[in-house]
Structure 1
Amino acid sequence: MSAVVALSPERTEWIAVTAVVAAGMVAAMQVGKGLIAGPLLQADLGLDLTALGWITSIFAIVGVAGGMPAGAMVAAIGDRRMMVIGMGILLIGILIGAVSPNFSLLILSRLFEGFGFLLVVVAGPAILMRIVATSRRDLVFALWSCFMPAGMAVAMLSGPLFANWQAIWWGNGLVALLSLLTVIAAVLPSRGGPRASASGIRSDMLTTLTSRGPVLLFALFSLYSLMSFTLSSFLPILLVARMNVSFATAGVLSALITLANVIGNLAAGTMLARGVGRGRLVIVAATLMGAAGLWIFLSQSGDTLTFALCVLFSAIGGLIPATLISSVPIVSPRPELAPMAMGLLMQGSNLGQLVGPVAVGIAIETFGWTSGAGFIGAGALCCILLATMLNRTLRTKPQETA
């Protein structure tokens, strides 16, 4: 005798949300694995630091170039279908990388991974907007915003458990395959509807680019990413210099600091659900993040204080991406343009990720560690100024009480 257990709509919704957030984490693990596998790649393939830089920065290049086009593809093809395609491309890239005998094929595999990553992180919020009730949207988007720090932390903590870099790739391939199958099983496809033509997509992209709200979110996320990667790109080196620990220990501490970002992500969801203004939340977060960052770069604090400030910087910073991501449906010119606005937001994230480490690296080599404070201070100040504009923009939206 068999029994069929019918799941409640709310439980089905949360299962789908979990599958989507997990897919984002799996995509983010592919960024983190490039960082943790650096020494192994250097030893096996003889890569120099420039080549290793390409292994990680190729994701940002793809994101800067393809953010809005990815959003247009989601709008034209469908969110669930695009996430499945993105996970498939990600898996193909991982498998190609696992068997790569040289740098050329490995960098090609990273292009596949970068494109798959982009499709997943743009399609994910579109799925969540469709399947989640409006009353739970802030909380769910706060969970979604955890995908990047959580995925990177998992990759950095699990990487040392593998014997070689190929094993890291194979392990990630298995996880990506399981995630793909979970998305297929847990996420229902969207109802069929009219798809935009090529001319319609161009018009929608122009509308998004000329709308104040999406452009503000793009600029704010660029600044947040600039500040965040100003510190995180050189975090292991900074911890070794300040705390006199080994690189292995610095790697674990860096992963814990990255994971602290999740605290801010989840806290933002709770505060937004309780009616805290979005612009005000960004202003407070940018102020505290800037203060902690300036202290880190300008002072010569001891090991305990340095670590505590880095944790504070990461945790407080997590308030910003969760707030901005959950604001996309509100500031989009039309609901159907939200995927394009999300794509524009991801372009901002990747722009800061691409420009920040290069500019800060040059400045530190030329002027020393204190020069990093300039990027943190300028980024925080601009963030505060733009957040006041975001407040005014949100006040024109009747559905938001910013």
Structure 2
Amino acid sequence: MSTIIKAPLARVLIIYGLGVAAAMCVSEAVTELGKIAAEFHPPSRSTIGWVMSMPSLIVALGALISGYFVDRIGDRRVLFTGVLVMIAGDLLTTAAPSLGWLLAARAVTGLGYVLAAVAAVTTLIRMTSGQQRSMALALWSTFVPMSFLLPFLSAGLADRFGTWRAAFGFHVALLIVLLVLAVLAIPARDPGIRSDRARGAGRVLRSPMVYLLGISFAGDSFLQTGVLATLGHYLGAKYGIEEVAVAHWSAVSMISNALACLSVGLMLRRGVSSRAITTLGMAITGIAGVALYGTAPGFMASIVTVWVLMFGSGLLVGMWTLVPFTAPSSDSIGATSGLVTQITLLGVLLGPPAFFAAQAAVTAAPQLLVFLSALALCALRYPVCRLADRAPARHATETIGSLAESSH
């Protein structure tokens, strides 16, 4: 059993599982917001919305400093600490006697989320190389859409127990199982290694490539979350369909997005360049977006268009393989991952409100403009793509050998 857990594939899957479970800090609340509102009677809908968004806010604010700690004390320690903090936050959530307590508990959960998410992707980079790394990071890029699928299972569990708190209890159980597996699978730090990482975050903050990649990811996450958040109201008003029906069909778009992320790894293994994948992703996403907001093809045709759009978006977000190429040095991988994550999450936070504001207009033209503007930001990754396509072998030689030391 120990040998199986320590196999390279098993390690990747366990770390990926922790990433999905970390992202569930946000999505686990989606199906329970109505029950939470019924119990605590918030003063407005925006207040109850913070029950879901609070962890994302913490991630957006704290990813860079989390990356600093990953480089400073090691990804394994930060990863396990993050999981323990998430468990504590969920337990506080299940015991929340008031809305204020609940929001504070969700902030604690968000702290665990940001520590675990940044440490997990850094661990994947440390423990993989070459084509295996490309596939591992392509798989990693699916952790957010997959996190939105799993809560539907826990929602049934919550209904069976008659309380929304059961959903968070299920999350605690999942985290404990994954933590035990991770303790067994991820190698401990070599006590003979000592290194100062204090300057890592500073070098990352001065690196333009990190910002270019982060902003490009933020553009994709901005349009992705904005489209999905407003799709029910948009198609419902346009075709007279209930928003529940739109949400049902939209679940397929998450699967489409995940499949696209995985296909990025396969294409890279077959020698397709990062620039070609980026161009293909932008073309598919752009054409689908114009069809969605610029035409009236009918309800089901619009749903299929959203699936295509999310596939193209998945090709863009699946390019997490570019992150190591933006790191200014091998001892700043954690801070690099943290800053890219932090900028990306700003897109997640800003996308829905921007699309809702555009949706208030009489026509769909403002939504299309916001969509295309966000898509244009994705082109900022081309300099990073060029770097990755020109010198993959040199970069691997320089960094992989030292990553084992720098990330323990």
Q: Tell me which amino acid in the other structure corresponds to 1:250.
A: V
Change (3 A) 1:111 1:283: same
The CA deviation at 1:52 is 2.2
Counterpart for residue 39 of structure 2: 44
The CA deviation at 1:345 is 0.9
How far apart, CA to CA, are the structure 2 residues paired with 1:123 and 1:187? 12
Change (3 A) 1:338 1:162: same
Instruction: Confirm whether residue 387 of structure 1 aligns to residue 381 of structure 2.
Output: yes
Report 1:205-224 matches (<5 A): 205-224=201-220
How far apart, CA to CA, are the structure 2 residues paired with 1:392 and 1:54? 40
* Structure 1 gap ranges (5+): none
Counterpart for residue 249 of structure 2: 253
Q: Residue deviations 1:280-328, cap 9 Å, x none?
A: 21122122112212221222331211110111111221111221x1111
The CA deviation at 1:39 is 1.5
Q: Residue deviations 1:216-267, cap 9 Å, x none?
A: 1111111111111110222333354456554444333232222221111110
Counterpart for residue 108 of structure 1: 104
* Structure 2 gap ranges (5+): 396-408
Change (3 A) 1:240 1:101: farther
Q: Is the 8 A contact 2:285 2:309 kept in 1?
A: yes
- The alignment's TM-score, normalised by the length of structure 1, stands at 0.90
Counterpart for residue 227 of structure 2: 231
Counterpart for residue 348 of structure 1: 343
Q: Residue deviations 1:54-77, cap 9 Å, x none?
A: 122222321221111010111111
Change (3 A) 1:267 1:396: closer
Report 1:145-294 matches (<5 A): 145-156=141-152, 158-163=154-159, 164-192=163-191, 193-196=193-196, 200-201=197-198, 203-242=199-238, 244-294=240-290
Report the RMSD for the aligned CA atoms in angstroms: 2.2
The CA deviation at 1:355 is 1.3
Q: Residue deviations 1:357-381, cap 9 Å, x none?
A: 1222222224554422111111222
How far apart, CA to CA, are the structure 1 residues paired with 2:206 and 2:354? 28
The CA deviation at 1:388 is 3.1
Change (3 A) 1:280 1:303: same
Counterpart for residue 399 of structure 2: none
Q: Residue deviations 1:155-210, cap 9 Å, x none?
A: 145425522311211122211221222211222223242242xxx52x32221122
From 17, 35, 56, the counterpart of 1:22: 17
The CA deviation at 1:37 is 1.5
* Identity among equivalent pairs (%): 22
The CA deviation at 1:395 is 5.2
Counterpart for residue 80 of structure 1: 76
Change (3 A) 1:39 1:215: same
Which is worse superposed, 251-260 or 392-401? 392-401
How far apart, CA to CA, are the structure 1 residues paired with 2:296 and 2:41? 35
SS at match of 2:150: helix
Counterpart for residue 317 of structure 1: 313
Q: Residue deviations 1:73-117, cap 9 Å, x none?
A: 111111111111001111111111111122101111111111111
Q: Residue deviations 1:24-77, cap 9 Å, x none?
A: 111122211222212222222213311122122222321221111010111111
Change (3 A) 1:42 1:139: same
SS at match of 2:263: helix
Change (3 A) 1:102 1:243: farther
How far apart, CA to CA, are the structure 2 residues paired with 1:186 and 1:238? 46
Count the aligned residue pairs: 390
Q: Is the 8 A contact 1:283 1:387 kept in 2?
A: no
- The alignment's TM-score, normalised by the length of structure 2, stands at 0.89
How far apart, CA to CA, are the structure 2 residues paired with 1:398 and 1:260? 28
Instruction: Confirm whether residue 56 of structure 1 aligns to residue 52 of structure 2.
Output: yes
Which is worse superposed, 64-73 or 129-138? 129-138
How far apart, CA to CA, are the structure 2 residues paired with 1:267 and 1:218? 21
Change (3 A) 1:19 1:279: same
Q: Tell me which amino acid in the other structure corresponds to 1:94.
A: D
Counterpart for residue 367 of structure 2: 372
Q: Tell me which amino acid in the other structure corresponds to 2:184.
A: A
How far apart, CA to CA, are the structure 1 residues paired with 2:384 and 2:372? 20
How far apart, CA to CA, are the structure 2 residues paired with 1:161 and 1:301? 38
Q: Tell me which amino acid in the other structure corresponds to 1:194.
A: R
Q: Is the 8 A contact 2:275 2:382 kept in 1?
A: yes
Change (3 A) 1:371 1:337: same
Instruction: Confirm whether residue 338 of structure 1 aligns to residue 333 of structure 2.
Output: yes
How far apart, CA to CA, are the structure 1 residues paired with 2:244 and 2:166? 19
